[in-house]
Structure 1
Amino acid sequence: MFGFLKKSYELLAPVTGKAIDLSQVPDEVFAQKMAGDGVAIDSTGDTFVAPADGNLTMIFKTNHAFAMTLDNGAEVLVHIGLDTVELQGEGFERLATEGSDVKAGTPIVRVNRDFIKEKGYSLITPILLTNPDAIKEMSAVKDINVEAGKNKVIEYKTK
């Protein structure tokens, strides 16, 4: 009844770079929002941080992606690069512990940018809300430079 009173939440940039619309990501799964809705960052940084306060529910064994569950029920996926799972963890360093509670800006993964680029992989990083049934509305920035842990990239409301 009083939906207009619902609090809005935000996700901060998990890495420094340029925010781009998901439709611009050269990977159909992300571009067509099959894995969730959000934004991507064409990253220039090497340290990936938590985009919000919450529980670090999963860090993929190859360290190329991590998932969080936030206190408001939102589920977030940060996928570092495109097809980087194929590197089998090479070029990725885990900085946080799976299952721990973290604050926005907490370092989670560091990458060796030169190594990943030399292997021919893109470091475009999708940041997705993966449980759309719990999200009422969402908006994302695009075409602006953002700094890890400092700039808002997604604003959303829960149902």
Structure 2
Amino acid sequence: MFGLFKKEFKVLSPLNGKMVPLESVPDPVFSQRIVGDGVAIDDLQGDIACAPVDGTIVLIFRTNHAFAVKMKNDVEILVHIGIDTVELNGEGFERLVEEGSVVKAGDPVIRFNRNVIVTSGRSIISPVIITTKENIAQLSVNVVKQVSTGKDVIFSYKLK
């Protein structure tokens, strides 16, 4: 009964594109929720990945293809731009902030070149997941088709 009164936290889209279920990601690590739960963004428009929540950048992969934001409630959100993009060794990705930076939802974090990803034969579909799923009591995915960076809620959650 007390779970009804727990605060709901909202996660905004870090990318412009079409929201799709995590099961659509052509990588079992994401589609089978091995590293966490969430959604994916496909048919990316634009060239900036932004922070989906207020928090601290706790990780930016050396290849700049993915980053994680940790909120004050210790929940971490991972934004992974494309699939198998680590194999590009940083080509087409530019870091706009450093690890340890405090960000607000909608702040630019990574600039990417969509054409580099697509012409390399990799998928542009981009998972956005909660990696600290053991802290989550309830995850609610928003049913939105097209999402805009920093504007549309892609999912919300409640803590245990």
User: TM-score range, shorter-chain basis?
Assistant: over 0.9
Please give the secondary structure, in 1, of the residue aligned with 2:87.
helix
Partner of 1:144: 145
String of CA shifts for 1:61-83, please: whole Å, max 9, x gaps.
Answer: 00000011101221111111000
- Write the distance in 2 (CA, Å) between the matches of 1:75 and 1:120: 29
After the TM superposition, which residues 23-38 of structure 1 pair with which residues of structure 2 at under 5 Å, given as runs? Answer: 23-38=23-38
Partner of 1:53: 54
Structure 1 unmatched runs, 5+: none
Structure 2 unmatched runs, 5+: none
After the TM superposition, which residues 51-90 of structure 1 pair with which residues of structure 2 at under 5 Å, given as runs? Answer: 51-90=52-91
| 1:108 CA drift (Å) | 0.3
Among all aligned residue pairs of Structure 1 and Structure 2, give the percentage whose two residues are the same amino acid. 51
Count of equivalent residues: 159
Task: Give the counterpart letter for 1:92 in structure 2.
Answer: F
String of CA shifts for 1:40-86, please: whole Å, max 9, x gaps.
Answer: 00022210000000010010000000011101221111111000000
Judge conservation of contact 1:50–1:104 (CA < 8 Å) in 2: yes
After the TM superposition, which residues 1-159 of structure 1 pair with which residues of structure 2 at under 5 Å, given as runs? Answer: 2-42=2-42, 43-142=44-143, 144-159=145-160
- Write the distance in 2 (CA, Å) between the matches of 1:45 and 1:7: 32
Task: Give the counterpart letter for 2:158 in structure 1.
Answer: K
Please give the secondary structure, in 2, of the residue aligned with 1:117.
helix
| 1:26 CA drift (Å) | 1.2
| 1:18 CA drift (Å) | 0.3
Regions of 4+ moved over 2 Å: none
- Write the distance in 2 (CA, Å) between the matches of 1:83 and 1:151: 26
String of CA shifts for 1:87-118, please: whole Å, max 9, x gaps.
Answer: 00000011111111100000000111112211
Two-structure CA RMSD over aligned residues (Å): 1.1
String of CA shifts for 1:21-50, please: whole Å, max 9, x gaps.
Answer: 001111111110011000000022210000
Judge conservation of contact 2:144–2:154 (CA < 8 Å) in 1: no
| 1:143 CA drift (Å) | 5.7
